[in-house]
Structure 1
């Protein structure tokens, strides 16, 4: 049996939807959608925080006397009653800075009472009913504050209530009505739309700023993790070299050193087995760290002996750079007094510092100095301000290169000092600790000595 075509929605479904929408509108009119905090409350500038209060104070100071004068002179309302109506219609403007919805309730009720009071007065030629000009202008300011602060549902509810009450007053006294109710309904809708557009644009910009902040934090964290992974790979190469030496020495000890007891030979065999196991574990870990399958990272890691080549390559790239490698550093490198972690970290710091100069200060004269004094290896890279005409390759830095420098310095237990110079240049100073000089062991073989 074929299915019957779908008929119109049941009447109770339409009624329930209408009741639900009416409940939502009523909830929007009775519950503010924002906390009672004024605009610009979080601004660091004091004058911006005080500006909403100054604006509403000026509005109240202007509209209260103007409303009293218009009601008393143009509509013939007695002075005391005109003053009370003016206070009810204009004094709540002071609440627009933090409670615009509550201010609307008071102002709108006072405007309705004012319209009824004016209706009881003799008709004066040239007057506007039901909304006198000061009432209409002040009400538009209220609607603007609502559009800037409240939700779209609340704005629609306020707009519909305004139009409904204006229509009722027009039907109740059509002879006195001159179209101000319709004019306020149209202008009020435009003001609410403008306020809502400005508010939603501000919300979008605020969310974009928050997202950019989160993205920048994520990029910094990702850069930090990538640099730590790179350091871990390089540290593996450093440690693996020494572990391999230990393994070879432990395996060859029974052949190089005569007269070893069986216990000593077993001990050397145990040391060699432990070293091989550690190397195997490190290789498994390295296979995870090198998940990109790159083979270039398996090459020997650079050190201070290649800083001269690095500086020469930078000079060929158009950066006037000079290197000062102290003689004590050369001696320490020759006798193996610079640990591989320190050697590699010093090279990477110089490499990153020169790369930053190329990116941010093209053509700047740069001085690279490496010294070894007081048990520390000091790496100093100082550049002048950019000399090459034109804009730099990068107008703003993220600081990710400095993050890598700090990680390497922290790995070796040293200190890092970076910052701009008064002449527009930049300074990078790293101090990496060196092990104390140890005299050769008396038990070492002549070849080792």
Structure 2
């Protein structure tokens, strides 16, 4: 059994996006350590009259772990808490006069800073235990307090509680924001994936209708060949019968697949799928919506899958013009061109900027289905798609779809 290697602890605020925020805990710890160490030695040895060696040892134990608190605040608290209590007991052996006891001001400053670091790292249960230990130490030291100093015992308890509460609140707020950002990222990725899957399912249903038509034609031709062609040899008749049976079986499998893809609410999709011949109707509807459109049609026969893809691309492009650039002059053209891989159908939809910016968008926040659907359709037939804004403020959609059947079947 292999042991799991423990990852080294991260510094406080190490996940911040800005560099100065990541360096802030180290800077604060360094300033506190550098300023409090000589101050503590001077106050304990000169003002309180503690032995110089003991004062130096206590000062180092009370301040040096502040640097460790940036990475391991709880371990630093163990050292500093013990050193502060030991320092308070050590001061009972000297005459402190009117000075503060049990914790001088510089010890309080260091301890409050340590409690803030604890709040930024440790869970609520640990913070509560730390505060109870601090309060318990203050109560215990109160029983041995010199005359006139008992009123100072509650100061560290109050300030440490405030620092722990503040640090814990900041940590929990940061964690909530981080989880929210992660959830939004996951939701956006899931939304994009769902959009793609929905579009693929829709395309699969439409392609099924196209292929099913051809399979039905094959079945009919194979079944009627014996009646349409005289003098067929028996082996040829048997071959046609086998072709018809295979075609019917394949058609049945495709219909079963369609039953999985479709549901009860999609009866409208049982109608024949549109093609190039119906692009003119799209243009007329767009003109009635107030968008001037110049249309260059293409009347030649193309594979049904290509015609369907061209129709859907023009449909989505014109819908985007109506939504985002109402009234913008638009040009739609469908033409055939020769390319290195063979003949291609070029679909081009270009709109200029709208005559005047709309007072309010027709849709708040698009779903993103349009471009996803365009790209998926073009990909399935082996074509290319180029979309993007124009320098004058318009938009261009250009798709090239291969006309050779072998490119996409």
Instruction: Point out where structure 1 has 5 or more consecutive residues left out of the alignment.
Output: 1-33, 438-449
After alignment, is 171-180 or 73-82 more displaced? 73-82
What is aligned with 2:375?
Answer: 406
C-alpha deviation, 1:160, in angstroms = 0.9
Pick the aligned partner of 2:346 from 364, 378, 382: 378
What is aligned with 2:280?
Answer: 308
C-alpha deviation, 1:174, in angstroms = 4.7
**Alpha carbons of 1:350 and 1:156: their partners in 2 closer, same or farther (altered >3 Å)?**
same
What SS does the aligned partner of 2:103 have?
A: coil
**Alpha carbons of 1:388 and 1:371: their partners in 2 closer, same or farther (altered >3 Å)?**
same
Pick the aligned partner of 2:102 from 105, 113, 130: 130
C-alpha deviation, 1:117, in angstroms = 2.8
**Alpha carbons of 1:384 and 1:57: their partners in 2 closer, same or farther (altered >3 Å)?**
farther
C-alpha deviation, 1:254, in angstroms = 2.9
After alignment, is 186-195 or 250-259 more displaced? 250-259
C-alpha deviation, 1:424, in angstroms = 4.8
C-alpha deviation, 1:343, in angstroms = 0.8
Map 1:255-266; keep pairs closer than 5 Å.
Answer: 255-266=227-238
- Report the Cα distance in structure 2 between the residues aligned to 1:135 and 1:191, rounded to whole angstroms: 15
What is aligned with 1:111?
Answer: 84
TM-score, normalization: structure 1? 0.80
- Report the Cα distance in structure 2 between the residues aligned to 1:425 and 1:68, rounded to whole angstroms: 73
**Alpha carbons of 1:109 and 1:297: their partners in 2 closer, same or farther (altered >3 Å)?**
same
What is aligned with 1:445?
Answer: none
> Contact 1:360–1:395 (CA<8 Å) still a contact in 2?
no
What is aligned with 1:417?
Answer: 386
- Report the Cα distance in structure 2 between the residues aligned to 1:394 and 1:82, rounded to whole angstroms: 72
Instruction: Point out where structure 2 has 5 or more consecutive residues left out of the alignment.
Output: 1-6
What SS does the aligned partner of 1:172 have?
A: coil
Map 1:53-64; keep pairs closer than 5 Å.
Answer: 53-64=26-37
Q: Indicate whether 1:356 and 2:320 are aligned.
A: yes
Map 1:334-345; keep pairs closer than 5 Å.
Answer: 336=301, 338-345=302-309
**Alpha carbons of 1:371 and 1:75: their partners in 2 closer, same or farther (altered >3 Å)?**
farther
What is aligned with 2:68?
Answer: 95
What SS does the aligned partner of 2:150 have?
A: coil
C-alpha deviation, 1:364, in angstroms = 4.6
- Report the Cα distance in structure 1 between the residues aligned to 2:188 and 2:305, rounded to whole angstroms: 30
C-alpha deviation, 1:152, in angstroms = 1.1
**Alpha carbons of 1:255 and 1:146: their partners in 2 closer, same or farther (altered >3 Å)?**
same
- Report the Cα distance in structure 2 between the residues aligned to 1:425 and 1:81, rounded to whole angstroms: 79
Map 1:425-444; keep pairs closer than 5 Å.
Answer: 425-435=394-404
Give the superposed CA RMSD. 2.7
C-alpha deviation, 1:341, in angstroms = 0.7
What is aligned with 1:251?
Answer: 223
After alignment, is 65-74 or 309-318 more displaced? 65-74
- Report the Cα distance in structure 2 between the residues aligned to 1:105 and 1:423, rounded to whole angstroms: 67
**Alpha carbons of 1:171 and 1:426: their partners in 2 closer, same or farther (altered >3 Å)?**
farther
